[in-house]
Amino acid sequence: MNPREADTLIVGGGIIGLSIAWRLARTGHRVTVLERDTAGAHASRMAAGMLAATAEVGYEEFDLYALCTHAVRRWPSFASELEEDSGIPVDFRSQGTMVVARDADAATALRRAYDFQQEHGFVVEWLSRAEALDREPFLSPRIAAAVYAADDHSVDNRAVIRALVAAIQKFGGHVEEQAEVTAVEMDASGRRHRVRTSQGGAEWTAPQIVLAAGAWSQGIAGLPDDVRPPVRPVKGQILTLRMEPPFRLEHVVRGARAYLVPRSDGRLVVGATSEEMGFNTELTAGGVWSILDGAWELVPGIHDLPVLETDVGLRPGSRDHQPIVGWSAAAGLFMATGHYRHGVILSSATADAAASVLLGGEMPAIMHPFSPSRFRKSA
Ligand code: GLY
């Protein structure tokens, strides 16, 4: 079979790989995404779709906070361009996040985080129990306090996946599903790298390859050993409930053990465990129990809601839990992986940055701290 040619091959059809493909395809660039399963079938589908720069980023993670803030600010235009290109609505919601403390102990920890966030310019507001309940009446009357993060938003990640595939195809790009990469041969001259897939041994060539295979990024066959990114799977169990009147949560709610993310169509995504279990994707009684117990103590009204789905996803966690975006040490191999808990939010910024570089432009300065080179000495 003759090899098929592309300007850029993207290994991995999750939200990161698809977003990069879309940004490239809309410029007329010939791009093909090779996905071992179906588009967005893993972490991208199991995600909750929180665009939470404030609530998801921890102490001292200043570079990540700056990147997530930048990515969230980009999301409204990213979502509307995507809706326009694909004709598919993505349920971008901007009600903000309520970070809730269930008791006095949790309130002390939350206050410490709030003071730190305020000191560093995060947009956060301290709410007493009464103020929090006034704003979100379905919170438990037993909570101690809450922080409102007005700049955190959410999106329906599954709709985003559908929209990305439609938009890529509209601009002539390809999304090859059931195409597991079985071999990558890097061409030392850097011009004609080859990728073979399980699709009847189909072969593709391109001058540049993007590694965006999420939790599987480290194990892709044929990658030079010294460029394999230090990315591991971090298991997340997650549930979807159906909100039934009079229950209607408006805000994203998060506590120490669970988060709840409402969709405009009445679904309520409740997540998620965070487990070091390798590639194990079994749903467990303890996992489901801990999510529901953690969610119920914040929002007791979920008790009678029907369960629509249970899912398990594998987040791609890098060694320092920050994304890996930029050229690897192998000429022509670009990394876009390791987005850990931030894949949906960072898809906007990663796609812009990657497309800029892959089209011959500059890497935006905000992405410099996330270069793969930080792992080179000790990988
Ligand atoms: N960003 C939410 C999660 O990883 O569970």
* Residue nearest ligand 1's atom 4 by CA: 341
User: Mean pLDDT throughout 194-217?
Assistant: 93
pLDDT value of residue 377: 65
* Residue nearest ligand 1's atom 2 by CA: 341
Per-residue pLDDT reduced to its tens digit, 301-334: 999 999 999 999 999 999 999 999 999 999 999 9
pLDDT value of residue 2: 65
Per-residue pLDDT reduced to its tens digit, 256-293: 999 999 999 999 999 999 999 999 999 999 999 999 99
Sequence length of the chain is 379
Q: What is the atom index within ligand 1 of the atom nearest the CA of 274?
A: 5
* Residue nearest ligand 1's atom 1 by CA: 341
* Residue nearest ligand 1's atom 5 by CA: 272
Longest dimension (CA), the chain: 68
Residue 190 reports pLDDT greater than 90: no
What is 4-51+158-230+320-378's CATH number?
Answer: 3.50.50.60
What is 93-152+232-316's CATH number?
Answer: 3.30.9.10
The one-letter code for the residue type at 115 is D
Residue 298 reports pLDDT greater than 90: yes
Per-residue pLDDT reduced to its tens digit, 6-18: 999 999 999 999 9
Would you place residue 337 in the very low, low, confident or very high pLDDT band (cuts 50, 70, 90)? very high
State whether the beta carbon of 315 lies less than 6 angstroms from ligand 1: yes
* In the chain, ranges of CATH 3.50.50.60 domains: 4-51+158-230+320-378
CA torsion sign for 132, 133, 139, 140 is: positive
pLDDT value of residue 1: 55
Task: Name 37's Cβ contacts closer than 8 Å, sequence gap at least 6.
Answer: 13, 177, 178
* In the chain, ranges of CATH 3.30.9.10 domains: 93-152+232-316
Per-residue pLDDT reduced to its tens digit, 133-163: 999 999 999 999 999 999 999 999 999 999 9
Higher pLDDT, 146 or 379: 146
Q: Are strands 259-262 and 267-271 parallel, antiparallel or unpaired?
A: antiparallel
Would you place residue 379 in the very low, low, confident or very high pLDDT band (cuts 50, 70, 90)? very low
Claim: this prediction has a pTM higher than 0.75: yes
Q: Are strands 174-176 and 31-34 parallel, antiparallel or unpaired?
A: parallel
C-alpha span between 314 and 364 (Å, rounded): 28
Mean pLDDT of the chain: 95
Q: What is the atom index within ligand 1 of the atom nearest the CA of 340?
A: 4
